[in-house]
Structure 1
Amino acid sequence: MSREVKIITTEDGSHSLYVPEINETYHSFHGAYRESVHVFMLYGLEAWYMRNPNKFPIRIFEVGFGTGLNAWLSLVWAEQYKVPVLYHTIEPFPLQEEVYKQLNYTEVDDSIYHYAPFFQVLHEAPWNKGDIVTEYFNMKKDEVTLEDATLYPSDVIFYDAFAPNKQPELWTKEMLAKAVDTLNPGGVLVTYCAKGQLKRDLKELGLQVETLPGPPGKKEMTRAWKV
């Protein structure tokens, strides 16, 4: 499946995508790159690793492959730390080649520019099967909705669906439970969303919920641990 998208430039100079069909963007207008680093790398993957420095491989599940930014940043992290990562991501609307080839994430930070070729490799990896991308990064992309997806045990969940008012079906307690049920003990779910209903649902699902400072332009975000 595919949908119409338009490339936009956010405040940190990095691209995002606008979806006219639902009047929504893939990332914050205040900075797509900064948002992903802050929410999913710093408060997600890094936070889990600080608690579990000797547990390998790290199993990440992402709701919404989208532009591939979170996956690419995770690959860069895995290569830099030399820590094996098994990455499972789902996306019912994969981007067309003419779109992802224009995205400029690999140009934002010169210090990791030598990992730039892997951004396209991630997009070109086959759907619905596992793929060894680098020595430390294996990925499985499934072209499927969360409702229909087959999930696997995970240590870190990047819950990066569109906002609840745009894609409410992905923020129901039932769908959250499907993701949360995959978490290993000590696992963490992290998302840019900070709505009260989300936090109440996560607490009712047995997680320890934290409200954390959000990325630039957003006051708060949510992180939840399975104990």
Structure 2
Amino acid sequence: MKREILITSDGSTTIHLPDWNEQYHSKHGAIQEAYHVFLRAGFDKVIVNNKSVSILEIGFGTGLNAFITFLEAAKNAIKINYVGVEAYPISSEEVLKLNYVKELKATKEQVIFDEMHAISWEEKQVISERFQLTKRKQFFQDISDKNAFDLIYFDAFGAQNQPELWTEDIFLKMYNAIKENGVLVTYSAKGSVRRAMQAVGFSVERIPGPPGKREMLRATKQVNKK
């Protein structure tokens, strides 16, 4: 499948798949979307009263979400155990074309971004004193973690191209993987996605979306729910 580097509206890059008319991040602003959906709506919520947080990312992709989580964890003195699942890793050539470090004015952390992509898969790696990263080359359907994560970044490609990733079966795996009172956030606001989450036991709320989207979804695994 053809892949192109695209500059989004906030100046940051993403990878565009013209055959699907799909991007790894919003064309309205890759960095803006990542911060709004995953950090502000998810990370900020779970770090309250916590000094360590376990995060599962569904779609490691460009590494943007992992990198900004690293930056925010350092600011907040939070320890992070981060697991990124990706069936089709991007190439080293594509990594070199991503401008997140420059756009985030984080040039001192360039080595961290590079290391996140260079480290081996399937093994927990110590990125810093406060950040551990495990990259798993795995299909989402094969995830079998149980009560392991405080937060899930659900960043799969859209349901219009991969509807099989937005089903009750997948969200049951997410429900099982997350701890009680854990949170799942996603850019999607589709009614079918909300209903699939609710069907497996999540409590779901619609909240304001990032630039270019009116709403997004945040789901919580509440105690005494299914």
TM-score, normalising length from structure 1? 0.93
Measured after TM superposition, the shift of residue 150 of structure 1 is 4.1
Deviations 1:101-138 (A, max 9, x none): 1100111132x442232111100111111111110000
Q: Secondary structure at the match of 1:71?
A: helix
Residue 104 of structure 2 is matched in structure 1 by: 109
Q: What are the residue-to-residue correspondences of 1:77-156 with 2, within 5 Å?
A: 77-110=72-105, 112-151=106-145, 153-156=148-151
- Displacement of 1:9 in angstroms is 0.2
Using the TM superposition, give the Cα deviation of residue 80 of structure 1 relative to its aligned residue in structure 2, in angstroms: 1.7
Q: Which of 11, 33, 36 is the equivalent residue of 1:35?
A: 33
Mapped partners of 1:109, 1:69: distance in 2? 10
> Partner of 1:116: helix, strand, or coil?
helix
**1:135-180, Cα deviation, whole Å (9 max, x unpaired):** 0000110111111234351100000000011111111110111112
Q: What is the DSSP-based 3-state SS (H/G/I as helix, E as strand, rest coil) of the residue aligned with 1:7?
A: strand
The equivalent of 1:45 in structure 2 is 43
Classify the secondary structure of the residue corresponding to 1:147. helix
Pairs within 5 Å for 1:188-207: 188-207=183-202
Equivalent residue of 1:209, what SS?
strand
**AA at the equivalent of 1:128:** E
- The more displaced of 17-26 and 194-203 is 17-26
1:218 to 176, 201, 213: 213
For the residue of structure 1 that corresponds to 2:71, the secondary structure is helix
In structure 2, how many angstroms separate the alpha carbons of the residues matched to 1:61 and 1:194? 20
Counterpart-to-counterpart distance in 2, 1:136 and 1:126? 19
C-alpha separation in 2, matches of 1:49 and 1:104: 28
CA distance in 1, matches of 2:22, 2:117: 22
Among the aligned pairs, what percent are the same residue? 37
**Equivalent position amino acid for 1:144 in 2:** Q
SS in 2 for 1:95: coil
CA deviation after TM superposition for structure 1 residue 48, in Å: 1.4
**Tell me, what secondary structure is at the counterpart of 1:77?**
helix
5+ long unaligned stretches in structure 2: none
Matched, 1:72 2:70: no
Structure 1: give runs of 5+ residues left out of the alignment: none
**3-state SS of paired residue (2:170):** helix
